[in-house]
């Protein structure tokens, strides 16, 4: 039984110099067999396990992770959460996640530091203005909060933006989603891990999947660095490495894995209290609670699994940042890193069954998976438990690439992918 | 971030090039006879290999010519560069 985190547990542990906190999750050896196995211990995978146990009563399950939990893209993203997507299917999917975010700290009894500080998307040319206004209307029709701001209102909302008409990409306006914001990325993984573990889910770290054993039309189990584990249902949530797992069963996915970069500056006093994104110049910036500017750059154009990324991509982003925020010109960047994102041709995810019985994929989140973590886990758990999709992820099946019924969010989703 | 030895211009920075994805995907000869599954396979499905991959590149900010390359996507090491229409020098 897990002890509940509260002000009282904090005070109680203070008396023992915080040396006796219960560990947040166990470190079990894998059992011989599970009812289901989730491959990938990032936010999405752990959330899937959490909701499988909580909502579908499947507690004899395991999450296998080749490194440590939350050490992949969960710990590498820029923590932006929003749901202002253009198409109905995406709006439903991402707003479902946003609604769970709003009560997540209470649900998990773990502070995920969800902060609804608003996300503003800037328009720099006439086409941007038209696109963003159209999206604002589409959002409102779907019950998602969105407002259009003119240049003066943008300046008022975020005073450090350079709104001079004489810059290369002048700010012609922007959209604002006030319910959007950020969360602490590590806490999301840790909170879900702790919650899942408390319900009996085995979280097995340092356990790399080497193969999937097939049986007739289904699956029999997985070969791992910790031996063979038997199971009838496998949920793959491996982000950039989804194709690596898919290639084990000769399944081709419509994915390309590319490095996406981010960087943080030295910590400074509060200067930007919202998240500002710019599609045309591909730069987005927010400030962490520690005071670092968190800056997201773009992806490299080529397939790579190196978790590094090219210098020219960062250079392009910083040029745009400096023109939009001249005040940052003497800031020093402290750290830069890359994460491997799996991008679908239509920039929408796949949460789907496959033609192999008992094998499910949750992938293709590309550059924007973090925001969907709770919703993705919830819907993927539903798909695995019932062997059929929830109505919110029915459109995100793998078959859409055959039928042509794509959910084309390239550019439509307020940022370039 | 790496250097690419363009078969026409020699060694240049990767930022001069644009990537064209997986190589040796053959355009269907009789497109009208293809099923939806076959079209999906040709248009969208990719091996997305972690390891040695054959791919197309274009020297976009140089000679603007297309060529093929063998690159290890796990460490960005380039094993071979060869012209369009030539057979890959390694398997």
Inside any domain, residue B89: no
Nearest to B1 among A253, A254, A311 (CB): A311
Instruction: Name the pTM for this structure.
Output: 0.95
The total number of structural domains in chain B stands at 1
Q: How many whole angstroms separate alpha carbon A366 and alpha carbon A372?
A: 11
Instruction: Tell me what the mean pLDDT of segment B39-59 comes to.
Output: 96
Going by C-alpha positions, the residue among A390, A402, A305 that lies closest to residue A346 is A402
* Domain residue limits at B78: 3-25+34-83
Tell me how far CA of residue A396 lies from CA of A140, A189, A344, A371, A404, in angstroms.
22, 24, 11, 16, 12
Inside any domain, residue B67: yes
- For residue B53, the domain's CATH number is 3.30.2270.10
Backbone angles phi, psi at A11, to 5 degrees: -65, -45
Per-residue pLDDT at A417 exceeds 60: no
Inside any domain, residue B70: yes
Strands B66-72 and A293-299: unpaired
Q: What is the pLDDT of residues A302-316, one digit of tens each?
A: 999 998 889 999 999
Strands A256-265 and A293-299: antiparallel
Taking an 8 Å cut-off on Cβ atoms, the answer to whether A243 and B74 are in contact is no
Inside any domain, residue B90: no
Q: How many whole angstroms separate alpha carbon A201 and alpha carbon A38?
A: 10
Contact of B73 with A321, CB cutoff 8 Å? no
| pLDDT interval class at A3 (50, 70, 90) | confident
In chain A, the percentage of residues whose pLDDT exceeds 70 is 98
Which residues 6+ apart lie within 8 Å of B64 measured at CB?
Answer: B58
Q: Which position has the token pair 């380039």?
A: B78
- B73: closest chain A residue by CA: A304
Q: Give the minimum alpha-carbon distance from A169 to chain B in angstroms, rounded to a whole number.
A: 23
Contact of A259 with A297, CB cutoff 8 Å? no
Q: What is the pLDDT of residues A136-175, one digit of tens each?
A: 999 999 999 999 999 999 999 999 999 999 998 999 999 9
Inside any domain, residue B49: yes
Which residues 6+ apart lie within 8 Å of A153 measured at CB?
Answer: A173
- A309: closest chain B residue by CA: B1
Q: Residue A252: list chain B partners with CB under 8 A.
A: 41, 45-47
Which of A209, A242, A245, A305 to probe the B interface (max B CBs under 10 A)?
A305
Dig out the tokens for A170 from the structure.
Answer: 């002048």
Taking an 8 Å cut-off on Cβ atoms, the answer to whether A304 and B37 are in contact is no
pLDDT at position A412: 56
Q: What is the pLDDT of residues A253-306, one digit of tens each?
A: 999 999 999 999 999 999 999 999 997 777 899 999 999 999 999 899 999 999
Which of B44, B54, B77 to probe the A interface (max A CBs under 10 A)?
B44
Helix axes A185-198 and A43-56, enclosed angle (nearest 10): 30
| pLDDT interval class at A415 (50, 70, 90) | low
What is the torsional sign of CA A85, A88, A94, A98? positive
The dihedral formed by the CA atoms of A304, A309, A310 and A316, expressed in degrees to the nearest 10: 130
Give me chain A's average pLDDT, please. 94
Inside any domain, residue B88: no
Distance from the Cα of residue A7 to its chain's centroid: 30
Q: How many whole angstroms separate alpha carbon A260 and alpha carbon A302?
A: 11
Going by C-alpha positions, the residue among A125, A126, A172, A116 that lies closest to residue A148 is A172
Q: Residue A254: list chain B partners with CB under 8 A.
A: 40, 44-46
Q: What is the pLDDT of residues A81-114, one digit of tens each?
A: 999 999 999 999 999 999 999 999 999 999 999 9
Contact of A42 with A187, CB cutoff 8 Å? no
Inside any domain, residue B15: yes
Dig out the tokens for A129 from the structure.
Answer: 């203005």
């Amino acid at each position: 039984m897990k002890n509940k985190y509260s002000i009282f547990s904090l005070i109680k542990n203070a008396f023992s110099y915080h040396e006796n906190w219960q560990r947040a999750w166990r470190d079990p050896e894998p059992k011989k067999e599970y009812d289901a196995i989730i491959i990938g211990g990032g936010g999405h995978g752990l959330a899937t396990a959490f909701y499988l146990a909580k909502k579908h009563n499947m507690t004899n399950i395991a999450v296998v992770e080749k490194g440590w939990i939350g050490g992949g893209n969960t710990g590498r993203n820029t923590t932006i959460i929003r749901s202002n997507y253009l198409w109905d299917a995406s709006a439903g999917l991402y707003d479902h996640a946003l609604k769970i975010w709003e009560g997540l700290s209470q649900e998990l009894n773990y502070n995920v530091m969800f902060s609804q500080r608003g996300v503003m998307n800037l328009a720099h040319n006439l086409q941007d203005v038209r696109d963003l206004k159209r999206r604002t209307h589409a959002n409102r029709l779907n019950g998602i909060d969105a407002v259009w701001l003119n240049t003066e209102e943008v300046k008022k909302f975020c005073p450090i933006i350079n709104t001079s008409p004489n810059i290369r990409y002048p700010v012609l306006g922007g959209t604002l989603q006030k319910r959007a914001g950020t969360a602490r990325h590590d806490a999301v993984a840790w909170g879900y891990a702790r919650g899942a573990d408390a319900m009996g889910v085995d979280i097995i770290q340092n356990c790399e999947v080497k193969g999937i054993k097939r049986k007739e039309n289904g699956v029999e189990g997985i070969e791992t660095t910790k031996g063979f584990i038997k199971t009838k249902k496998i949920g793959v949530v491996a982000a950039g490495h989804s194709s690596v797992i898919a290639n084990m069963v000769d399944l081709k996915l419509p994915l390309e894995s590319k490095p996406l970069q981010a960087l943080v500056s030295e910590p400074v006093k509060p200067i930007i209290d919202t998240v500002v994104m710019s599609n045309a110049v591909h730069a987005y910036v927010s400030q962490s609670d520690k005071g670092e500017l968190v800056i997201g750059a773009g992806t490299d154009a080529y397939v790579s699994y190196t978790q590094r990324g090219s210098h020219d991509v960062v250079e392009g982003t910083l040029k745009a940042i400096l023109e939009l925020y001249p005040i940052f010109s003497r800031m020093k960047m402290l750290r830069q890193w890359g994460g491997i994102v799996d991008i679908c041709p239509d920039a929408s995810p796949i949460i789907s069954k496959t033609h192999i019985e008992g094998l499910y994929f949750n992938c293709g989140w590309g550059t924007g998976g973090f925001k969907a973590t709770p919703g993705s886990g919830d819907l993927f758990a539903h798909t695995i438990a019932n062997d059929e999709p929830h109505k919110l992820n029915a459109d995100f099946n793998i078959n859409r690439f055959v039928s042509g019924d794509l959910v084309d969010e390239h550019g439509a989703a307020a940022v370039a992918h | 971030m790496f250097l690419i030895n363009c078969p026409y211009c020699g060694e240049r920075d990767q930022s001069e090039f644009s990537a064209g994805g997986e190589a040796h995907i053959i355009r269907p000869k009789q497109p009208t006879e293809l099923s939806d599954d076959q079209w999906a396979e040709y248009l969208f499905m990719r091996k997305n290999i972690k390891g040695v991959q054959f791919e197309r590149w274009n020297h976009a900010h140089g000679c603007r010519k297309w060529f093929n390359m063998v690159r290890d996507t796990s460490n960005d090491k380039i094993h071979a560069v060869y012209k369009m229409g030539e057979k890959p020098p390694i398997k």
